[in-house]
């Protein structure tokens, strides 16, 4: 036990969700009644799923603690319990101070309201009193840099202004305990730096920060201690560099996205994807491919019933969720009849025109106007650094995620090219 006073004490916290093994679950009252009448004694198979199991740790006042783990490890569930959005199934949490939580930037922002009105609305939603907001109003406006647009409805704001204003309100929350989830994933790098700085101020102010992020640089920068969650359990608790090492070694470098235990999926479930992996042309599974390198996506599934004309899609996204590419079989009139039981789809990709960075893949299965399965962030992969242009230079983060094949040359008269020269255009 450290000698500094406690901010949060978490004891044996568990959260149980009930998964219905029933892919035709009723969503309307009519369906529910009809099913009950048809099969009066049928029992829906329910399986408990523990999103969190027996998690215990303490956080001292003034500490900045990171919670890391892969998707589905229970990080967001824990934050939702601490911020009282959902209730735990077992355990106990003691909070020694007012909690402000920021699970999303701009919760409750309304497009039709002006910047000024949204500051008051959003501040109140985050738990500030009107007097507190009024006291901080000028600071919020200055931080966001939206003085001139205060009385303009935010629907006319650029996306950058919108995010800045939303974060500015949240950044001025004066709660003793601040809970932040992936907020750093939005906005440009310049803005992220500003947010990080603001959160460091909060921590050095003697207030307590709990941060969930996939951005290990931000985690290392801001936090001194981290806990690693794995499958709902506390896997590691200690110094941040050890935690990141532990996370990278055990969770970060998985080459195969195992989807069997992913419960955060959508769709009716007649067919479920069970794993996804990238395979190089030499047949080795890999986590990274070079730009334009040919490779295959190997997607395994398990079908419960025979299905005709199944469409497969793998969607490639940036870590903050912007869609870059959709590799949809239906675009190419390729669809598949599927027998019940396990099987595999393979997608041959001639190469991806993407800048070296980390990306994620979504998996989607559908067809016949039905939507069977969708798993977001099914696997994380890297486009490996590679000297595509043979110049030793590559586009940077602010130069777009895409690469193209191109070459520049000089020569010829403007009229020859069928365009006006600069001088002719001016006269």
Partner 1 sequence: MSVAKTTAVRTLRPTTGWVAIDLHELVDFKDLIVEFARRDIKLRYRQTALGIAWVVLQPIVAAGVLNFAFGVVAGARPRGPSYFLFTFAGLLMWNLFSMTLNKTSLSLVGNSYLISKVYFPRLILPISGTLATLLDFAIGLGVLFVLQGFYGIAPQWQLVLVPVWIGMVLCLALGAGLIAAALTVQYRDIQHILPILIPFMLYASPVAYDVTQIPESYQRLFYLINPLAAPIVGFRASLLAAAPMPPLPYLAWSALFAIGMFGLGAAVFKRTERKFADVV
List of residues contacting partner 1 (CB under 8 A): 3-6, 9, 17, 27-30, 32, 80-99, 101, 103-104, 107-108, 110, 112-113, 117, 120-121, 124-130
Sign of the dihedral defined by the CA atoms of residues 196, 201, 204, 206, in that order: negative
Minimum separation from the CB atom of position 39 to partner 1 (A): 19
Minimum separation from the CB atom of position 98 to partner 1 (A): 7
Phi, psi of 315 (to 5 degrees): -110, 130
Q: Which is nearer to partner 1, 113 or 231 (CB)?
A: 113
SS3 195: helix
Minimum separation from the CB atom of position 93 to partner 1 (A): 4
Both ends of the chain: CA-CA distance in Å?
A: 79
Residue 193 is encoded by which pair of tokens?
A: 């730096």
Sign of the dihedral defined by the CA atoms of residues 57, 74, 212, 385, in that order: positive
Minimum separation from the CB atom of position 94 to partner 1 (A): 4
Minimum separation from the CB atom of position 45 to partner 1 (A): 19
CA separation for the pair 153, 194 (Å, rounded): 25
CA separation for the pair 247, 266 (Å, rounded): 27
Q: Token match 């399965």: residue?
A: 373
Q: Which is nearer to partner 1, 61 or 279 (CB)?
A: 61
Minimum separation from the CB atom of position 384 to partner 1 (A): 36
Contacts of 174 (CB under 8 A, 6+ apart): 100, 128, 132, 136
Instruction: Write the DSSP symbol of residue 384.
Output: P
Q: Which is nearer to partner 1, 131 or 425 (CB)?
A: 131
Minimum separation from the CB atom of position 82 to partner 1 (A): 8
What does the buried/exposed string (b/e) look like for 52-75 if buried means 16 or more CB atoms within 10 Å of the residue's CB? Answer: bbebeebbbbbbbbbbbbbbbbbb
Q: Which is nearer to partner 1, 178 or 352 (CB)?
A: 178
Q: Which is nearer to partner 1, 104 or 357 (CB)?
A: 104
CA separation for the pair 241, 108 (Å, rounded): 36
């Amino acid at each position: 036990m450290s000698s500094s006073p406690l901010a949060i004490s978490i004891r044996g916290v568990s959260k149980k969700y009930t998964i219905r093994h029933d892919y035709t679950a009723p969503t309307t009252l009519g369906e529910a009644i009809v099913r009950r009448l048809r099969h009066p004694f049928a029992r829906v198979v329910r399986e408990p799923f523990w999103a969190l199991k027996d998690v215990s740790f303490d956080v001292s006042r003034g500490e900045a603690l990171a919670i890391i783990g892969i998707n589905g490890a229970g990080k967001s569930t824990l934050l939702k319990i601490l911020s009282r959005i959902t209730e735990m199934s077992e355990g106990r949490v003691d909070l020694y101070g007012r909690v402000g939580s920021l699970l999303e930037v701009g919760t409750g922002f309304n497009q039709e309201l002006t910047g000024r009105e949204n500051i008051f609305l959003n501040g109140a939603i985050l738990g500030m009193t009107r007097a507190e907001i009024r006291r901080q109003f000028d600071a919020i406006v200055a931080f966001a840099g939206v003085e001139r647009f205060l009385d303009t409805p935010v629907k006319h704001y650029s996306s950058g202004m919108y995010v800045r204003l939303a974060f500015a309100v949240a950044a001025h929350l004066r709660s003793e305990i601040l809970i932040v989830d992936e907020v750093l994933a939005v906005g440009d790098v310049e803005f992220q730096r500003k947010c990080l700085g603001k959160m460091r101020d909060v921590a050095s102010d003697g207030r307590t920060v709990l941060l969930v992020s996939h951005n290990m640089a931000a985690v290392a920068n801001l936090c001194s201690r981290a806990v690693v969650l794995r499958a709902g359990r506390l896997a590691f608790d200690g110094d941040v560099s050890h935690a990141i090492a532990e996370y990278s070694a055990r969770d970060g470098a998985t080459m195969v996205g195992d989807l069997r235990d992913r419960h955060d999926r959508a769709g009716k479930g007649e067919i479920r994807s069970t794993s996804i992996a990238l395979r190089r042309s030499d047949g080795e599974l890999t986590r990274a491919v070079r730009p334009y390198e040919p490779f295959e996506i190997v997607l395994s599934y398990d079908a419960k019933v025979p299905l005709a004309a199944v469409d497969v899609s793998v969607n490639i996204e940036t870590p903050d969720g912007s869609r870059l590419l959709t590799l949809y079989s239906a675009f190419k009139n390729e669809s598949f009849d599927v027998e019940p039981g396990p099987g595999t789809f393979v997608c041959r990709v001639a190469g991806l025109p993407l800048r070296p960075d980390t990306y994620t893949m979504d998996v989607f299965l559908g067809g016949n106007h039905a939507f069977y399965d969708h798993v977001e962030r099914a696997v994380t992969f890297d486009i490996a650094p590679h000297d595509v242009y043979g110049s030793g230079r590559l586009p940077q983060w602010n130069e777009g995620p895409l690469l193209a094949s191109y070459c520049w040359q000089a020569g010829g008269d403007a009229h020859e090219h069928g365009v006006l020269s600069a001088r002719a255009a001016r006269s």
